[in-house]
Amino acid sequence: MNEMENTSEMQPFMEIVAHEGLNNAAKGFGSMVGTPFKVSASEVSTVPVEEIPFLAGGPENEIVGIYLHAEGDVAGQILLMFPVEKALELVDLLMEQPEGTTQELDTMARSALAEVGNLVGSFFLNSVASLTGLDTRPSPPAIVVDMVAALLSMVTATCATMGDEALMIKGDFSQIDRGTQLQFWVMPDPDTLGKINEKLN
Amino acid sequence: MRTDNVITVGLGELAISEDPSDVLTAFGLGSCLGIGAYAPAIGVGGLLHAMLPEYSKKEDRLAPKYVDSGLLQLIKELEAKGAVREQLHINMVGAANMIEMQGVPNQLKIGERNLEVAYRILNELGLKIQNEETGGTIGRTTRLYVETGAMTVRAMGKPERPIGQSIPEPA
């Protein structure tokens, strides 16, 4: 898996991808919800895969994940994570209901969240496609409500089939006057990094 | 009263203990497979937290990352402590398919493949499974109490309970 050797020389470019992609995704998210969001933190790092399950807090904490695959020349995993109460609030916002109306994530609520995943993922990938000139598109999203570690172990296992380390793009989206609302992670497949590197050279 | 000493068994790790106060714990197993083995005669237990089905050919620093190599290491380390293979109590938790998506690459069926490999290796070793709660689409935390050899399972929002008290979901 020589592709990972490229990650240090690719770091500056991946930071540009992260910056533009995350800001575009936050813009898309804000326009969907009807209130502006900013990227309050972003990071590009290479981590040993077995550390991934510990990067989002207590392993047994309940979390809502929206999971997508990027497919095409640029491939990888995309994950949006919300604490459960934030996901419920978001569904109320999207469905124009008073806050507190949604008490559980039923089929309707899940489908609203899937729309969020679709839109935010597409905004991110549009930036990636225009920066790299490579083709990419999102898969239909899946919604997972479970323990943090259980959700992330699946993401980790998928990374681990391709290498011992994974390059991660992480961003926090926040409302101007409130705390973090969602975490947005992108883990490109190692092959994809090779393709981007070829294109850059 | 003594307090339980929680030993976290992380992803791709294996822990063996003969200290009765130890509780070997794998948090939030998703597609990963937790395999507990306990030797009642000597009070030694081990818990494996394997992530992928089969050991890759290339050199890898983490044998317990894989079901096949991890399981062999688990049994070997227990035997080194004096356990008799045929007397081991084997229990399994995890191997869920967390995500069901249309047109998903089969790499996401990791849970299923982990389970298939575990069955095959256990069969080759002549070992029987005492209880298992595997498959389905839910995450689970499992604990192995070294004092008694009891293994428990806990799903999100549910209390901890002994494994095998409900009918396991089909793999």
DSSP-derived 3-state class of residue A190: helix
**What pLDDT score does A2 carry?**
46
Higher pLDDT, B143 or B64: B143
- Encode A57-77: b = buried (16+ Cβ within 10 Å), e = exposed: eebbeebbbbbbbbbebbbbb
ipTM of the complex: 0.83
Nearest residue of A to residue B100, measured between CA atoms: A142
Q: Is there a contact between B92 and B132 (Cβ–Cβ < 8 Å)?
A: yes
* Residue A180: pLDDT over 90: no
Phi, psi of A178 (to 5 degrees): -130, 175
* Residue B60: pLDDT over 70: no
Superfamily assignment of A2-200 in CATH? Answer: CheC-like (3.40.1550.10)
Q: What is the number of residues in chain A?
A: 201
Enumerate residues 6+ apart whose C-beta is below 8 A from B77.
Answer: B14, B16, B46
Closest CB to B51: pick one of A142, A148, A156: A156
Tens of pLDDT along A36-56?
Answer: 888 988 999 999 988 898 888
Residue A145's alpha-carbon distances to A87, A159, A176, B23, B138, in angstroms, are: 10, 21, 27, 27, 9
pTM tops 0.80? yes
Subunit contact B141:A140, Cβ cutoff 8 A: no
The token pair that represents B35 in the structure block: 């395999």
- Consecutive H or E run containing A152: helix A148-160
Window 35-74 of A: residues touching B by CB (8 A cutoff) are: 50, 53-54, 59-60, 62, 67, 69
DSSP state of A13: H
The token pair that represents A157 in the structure block: 């296992």
Amino acid (1-letter code) at residue B54: E
Subunit contact B101:A62, Cβ cutoff 8 A: no
Higher pLDDT, B164 or B144: B144
Subunit contact A154:B11, Cβ cutoff 8 A: no
Q: What is the mean pLDDT of residues B72-88?
A: 96
Q: Is there a contact between A48 and A152 (Cβ–Cβ < 8 Å)?
A: no
**What pLDDT score does A42 carry?**
92
**What pLDDT score does A50 carry?**
85
**What pLDDT score does A152 carry?**
92
Amino acid (1-letter code) at residue B76: K
* Residue B56: pLDDT over 90: no
Q: Is there a contact between B43 and B49 (Cβ–Cβ < 8 Å)?
A: no
The token pair that represents B161 in the structure block: 């309970």
Subunit contact B27:A149, Cβ cutoff 8 A: yes
Q: What is the mean pLDDT of residues A143-149?
A: 93
The rounded mean pLDDT for chain A is 89
CA distance B90 to B20: 18
Tens of pLDDT along B82-141?
Answer: 999 999 999 999 999 887 665 555 556 889 999 999 999 999 999 999 999 999 989 999
Subunit contact A140:B101, Cβ cutoff 8 A: yes
Q: What is the mean pLDDT of residues A56-64?
A: 89
Kindly list the residues from chain A whose CB atom is less than 8 angstroms away from the CB atom of residue B156.
60, 62, 145-147, 150
Where do the domains of chain B lie, and which CATH numbers do they carry? 5-162 (3.30.1330.200)
Closest CB to B138: pick one of A142, A146, A152: A146
CA neighbours closer than 13 Å in the CB half-sphere of residue B128: 3
The rounded mean pLDDT for chain B is 89
Q: What is the mean pLDDT of residues A152-162?
A: 87
Tens of pLDDT along A86-127?
Answer: 999 889 988 888 989 999 999 999 999 999 999 999 999 999
Closest CB to A153: pick one of B29, B102, B138: B29
Q: Please check whether residue A154 touches B, CB under 8 A.
A: yes
- Residue for token pair 């290491």: B73
Subunit contact B29:A67, Cβ cutoff 8 A: no
**What pLDDT score does A184 carry?**
93
Chains A, B: CB contacts within 8 A come to 103
Subunit contact B51:A153, Cβ cutoff 8 A: yes
- Taking the CA atoms of chain A, what radius of gyration do you get in angstroms? 16
The token pair that represents B80 in the structure block: 């080194």
| Angle, CA of A165, A168 and A170, to the nearest 5° | 155
Subunit contact A59:B156, Cβ cutoff 8 A: no
| Closest-CA distance of chain B to residue A86, Å | 18
Q: Around Cβ B93, how many Cβ atoms within 10 Å?
A: 29
